[in-house]
Amino acid sequence: MKTQVAIIGSGPSGLLLGQLLHQQGIDNILLDRVSPAYILGRIRAGVIEQGFVGLMKEAGVAERMLREGEIHHEVDIAVHGDYHTINLTELTGGKSVTVYGQTEITHDLMEARTASGQLSFYEATNVKPHDMKSDKPFVTFEKDGETHRIDCDYIAGCDGSHGVCRAAIPKGILTEYERIYPFGWLGLLSDTPPVNYELIYVKSDEGFALCSKRSETRSRYYVQVPLDEKVENWSDDRFWDELKRRIPEDAANRLVTGPSIEKSIAPLRSFVVEPMQYGRLFLLGDAAHIVPPTGAKGLNLAASDVNTLYRILIKTYKEGRTDLTQRYSEIALRRVWNGVRFSWWMTNMLHHFYRDSIEDKIRDSELNFFLASEHRRRILAEQYVGLPYEDID
């Protein structure tokens, strides 16, 4: 087989890139090691920046997102029972975020891909990128007992944090930066009305909690738990009791509980690899970086990588700009590090790390400092709604 761009990974990064390229007449083939149903069963992010919505529009797949997604102009931060409203729209000169689940985005993109007729192979095994440093890279994989080869111009590594693409880059090329936090988030999804229209990020003596949602009838809640905690130890009742202990009293009184649809623990980690490319192989999204979810940036950073590579490839194919592909990593990393820093900062301010430590007292002080004036809240708001994408020229 032959294509222009071979895309490894059918998460939001791979699907969005594939659809954008298709809209521009750039042919691509998509591979994933699991089935579409498995991918759609993963419950992950929910807060979408305007830049991402713009890309979905450009890809021609934003219709349901614009209809069903909720526009949020505010976000609440509750500190030891007191609410602080961050008015995103006022503080950023009109910007907002959209609440629309990653699962829905993936669903919409998969449907569009099927309609587009672009080739996709799911449950592909032993996927491998080859000859990335040459101008004739290729990808091999197995499917139904047969080995296949895709010859291409470029390979997009959109295969998440445990994928093959990063691992295929020879030793000594990449530098990895990592921080592991001493806690995780236990998340619960339920078909119950959300406790609040706006999201509430909660700092309490018992630890962090987050009240989020997917719609007016579906809630997503999280509580900070120790790193070694097991989800089996958390009955739904135990989760709801713990959440009530952490959130402000008025919210606890109106919280509607119900059976969980999904419950899982995600460890918190910051991770970045530099550079985000090797010859004609590019790393995008979780394949290149992981952020703790406190700033709602994981999925949004994946979209910003897609934006960078997509704009570079358009100029490469349509304007003959041979210089730009080498600059992908340098351009993408600037925005990645902003997101990594913001996610680290929010995680630090909103969590207890070690009880009674001076660092935790300083974290409290920093949060209070940033909530105390409009000027400082603006710093938070500008980053929460998402910094602008860099122009490619």
Residues noted as catalytic: 72, 201, 293, 297, 384
- Which stretch, 20-28, 155-163, 239-247, 321-329, contacts ligand RFL (CB under 6 A)? 155-163
Write down the residue that tokens 């995680």 correspond to.
347
Among ligand PHB, ligand RFL, none, residue 198 binds (CB under 5-8 Å by kind): none
Q: How many CB atoms lie within 10 A of CB 257?
A: 18
Of the candidates 215, 185, 389, 213, the residue with the CA atom closest to the CA atom of residue 300: 389
- Which stretch, 86-94, 190-198, 296-304, 328-336, contacts ligand RFL (CB under 6 A)? 296-304
Among 158, 200, 225, 349, contact with ligand RFL (rule: CB under 6 A): 158
Q: Nearest distance from residue 103's CB to ligand RFL, in Å?
A: 10
The one-letter code for the residue type at 258 is G
Q: Report the distance separating Cα 346 and Cα 99, nearest Å.
A: 19
Burial of 206 from C-beta contacts in 10 A (0-12 / 13-18 / 19+):
middle
Structure tokens given for 296: 């709602």
Buried b (16+ CB within 10 A) or exposed e, 163-198: bbbbebbeeeebeeeeeebebbbbbbbbebbbbbeb
Residue 377 near residue 90 (C-beta atoms within 8 A): no
Rule CB under 6 A: say whether 33 interacts with ligand RFL: yes
- The DSSP bridge pattern shows strands 5-8 and 28-31 to be parallel
Among 18, 163, 292, 386, contact with ligand RFL (rule: CB under 6 A): 163
Among ligand RFL, ligand PHB, none, residue 104 binds (CB under 5-8 Å by kind): none
Which one, 275 or 295, has the nearer CB to ligand PHB? 295
Among 9, 129, 137, 184, contact with ligand RFL (rule: CB under 6 A): 9
User: Is the peptide bond preceding residue 267 cis, with omega within 30 degrees of 0?
Assistant: no
Among ligand RFL, ligand PHB, none, residue 31 binds (CB under 5-8 Å by kind): ligand RFL
- Which stretch, 28-36, 143-151, 190-198, 269-277, contacts ligand RFL (CB under 6 A)? 28-36
Q: Nearest distance from residue 285's CB to ligand RFL, in Å?
A: 2
Residue 8 near residue 139 (C-beta atoms within 8 A): yes
Rule CB under 6 A: say whether 13 interacts with ligand RFL: yes
- Which stretch, 156-164, 189-197, 270-278, 347-355, contacts ligand RFL (CB under 6 A)? 156-164
Contact footprint for ligand PHB (CB under 6 A): 45-47, 199, 212, 220, 293-294, 296
Burial of 41 from C-beta contacts in 10 A (0-12 / 13-18 / 19+):
exposed
Which one, 265 or 367, has the nearer CB to ligand RFL? 265
CA quadruple 269, 275, 281, 287: dihedral, nearest 10: 0
Among ligand PHB, ligand RFL, none, residue 227 binds (CB under 5-8 Å by kind): none
Among ligand RFL, ligand PHB, none, residue 294 binds (CB under 5-8 Å by kind): ligand PHB
Please tell me the count of residues contacting ligand RFL according to CB under 6 A. Answer: 31
Helix axes 298-319, 50-58, angle to 10 degrees: 40
Q: Nearest distance from residue 9's CB to ligand RFL, in Å?
A: 3
Among 7, 8, 367, 381, contact with ligand RFL (rule: CB under 6 A): 8
Residue 129 near residue 159 (C-beta atoms within 8 A): no
Rule CB under 6 A: say whether 298 interacts with ligand RFL: yes
Strand 207-213's sheet: what is its strand order? Answer: 82-87, 74-79, 200-204, 207-213, 219-226, 175-190, 260-274, 289-290
Rule CB under 6 A: say whether 339 interacts with ligand RFL: no
Q: Where on the chain is the footprint of ligand RFL (CB under 6 A)?
A: 8-14, 31-34, 39, 44-45, 102, 127, 158-160, 162-164, 266, 285-286, 293, 296-299, 302
